[in-house]
């Protein structure tokens, strides 16, 4: 049986227990140990590689995804990841998609699930204003991964001139006390600098970021191969604030 066929058969019976058994069968001990080091504190990792999860998710999304999402559980890292991936592959309207996203976001428990989920929500590209309005409350949330989700989404889909100043304003107002929020904002600012160096430089010179986030943003800019040596030297000087 080829790979595509076994992907289809995993959920054709709409048997969630069998799906979990299949994930356990596809798990690799070596990969589990490797991935556990990348997401410290996350337990119950089976060790299924992301490309395999994406193939399974794509097949589930083609069928009765509502049944799957109603039955889906969160006992393992891969079960949570798979739910997010399925939502990204579903062909539906923006209101249905955002409702599914809202249901899933509270399940995000690590940066990996957060970022993989965000990267699959391509429908947002066609509905920018509705998507931006939907994301704003998450930027002001209390939960670490809800805030990170907002800024990763802004980086992935809203890094354009029309939204740039609004994004900077959200950064200033957001709760920025946790590690994975700080790292997301630093990452976003490095991407902003690559695309809009002048506007981002003005922000970096006048921001109220904590030293950790500020220095991480500058370091990510310095490490980019899309930034000139002259700009990198300027960033090094700015670290001395």
Collapsed DSSP state (helix, strand, coil) of residue 240: coil
Work out the mean pLDDT of the chain and round it to a whole number: 94
Report the alpha-carbon distance of residue 7 to residue 26 in Å, rounded.
11
Q: Structural domain boundaries of the chain? A: 1-91, 125-241
pLDDT, tens digit (0-9, with 9 covering 90-100), for 94-123:
999 999 999 999 999 999 999 999 999 999
Of 102, 105, 42, nearest in space to 78 by CA: 42
Of the pLDDT bands very low, low, confident and very high (cuts 50, 70, 90), residue 225 is very high
pTM for the full model? Answer: 0.94
Of the pLDDT bands very low, low, confident and very high (cuts 50, 70, 90), residue 240 is confident
CA 178 to each of CA 38, 121, 181, 199, 210: distance values in angstroms, whole numbers, following the listed order: 17, 25, 6, 26, 11
pLDDT, tens digit (0-9, with 9 covering 90-100), for 44-68:
999 999 999 999 999 999 988 999 9
User: What is the average pLDDT across 117-140?
Assistant: 97
Task: With a cut of 90, say whether residue 15 has pLDDT above it.
Answer: no
Task: With a cut of 90, say whether residue 223 has pLDDT above it.
Answer: yes
Burial class of residue 50 in the structure, from the number of CB atoms within 10 Å of its CB (0-12 exposed, 13-18 middle, 19+ buried): middle
């Amino acid at each position: 049986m080829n790979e595509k066929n076994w992907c289809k058969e995993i959920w054709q019976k709409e048997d969630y227990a069998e799906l979990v058994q299949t994930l356990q069968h596809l798990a690799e001990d070596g990969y589990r140990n490797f991935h556990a080091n990348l997401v410290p504190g996350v337990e119950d990792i089976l060790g299924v590689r992301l490309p395999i999860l994406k193939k399974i998710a794509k097949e589930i999304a083609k069928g009765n995804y509502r049944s799957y999402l109603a039955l889906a559980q969160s006992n393992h890292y891969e079960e949570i990841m798979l739910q997010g991936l399925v939502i990204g592959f579903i062909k539906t309207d923006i209101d249905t998609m955002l409702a599914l996203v809202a249901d899933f976001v509270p399940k995000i428990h690590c940066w990996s699930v957060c970022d993989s989920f965000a990267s699959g929500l391509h429908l947002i590209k066609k509905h920018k204003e509705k998507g931006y309005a939907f994301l704003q409350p998450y930027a002001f949330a209390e939960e670490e991964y809800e805030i990170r989700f907002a800024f990763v989404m802004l980086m992935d889909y809203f890094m354009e001139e029309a939204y740039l100043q609004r994004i900077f304003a959200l950064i200033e107002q957001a709760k920025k006390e946790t590690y994975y929020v700080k790292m997301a904002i630093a990452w976003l600012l490095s991407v902003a600098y690559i695309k809009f160096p002048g506007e981002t430089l003005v922000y970096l010179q006048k921001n109220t970021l904590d030293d950790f986030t500020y220095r991480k943003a500058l370091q990510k800019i310095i490490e980019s191969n899309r930034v000139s040596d002259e700009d990198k030297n300027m960033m090094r000087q700015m670290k001395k604030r």
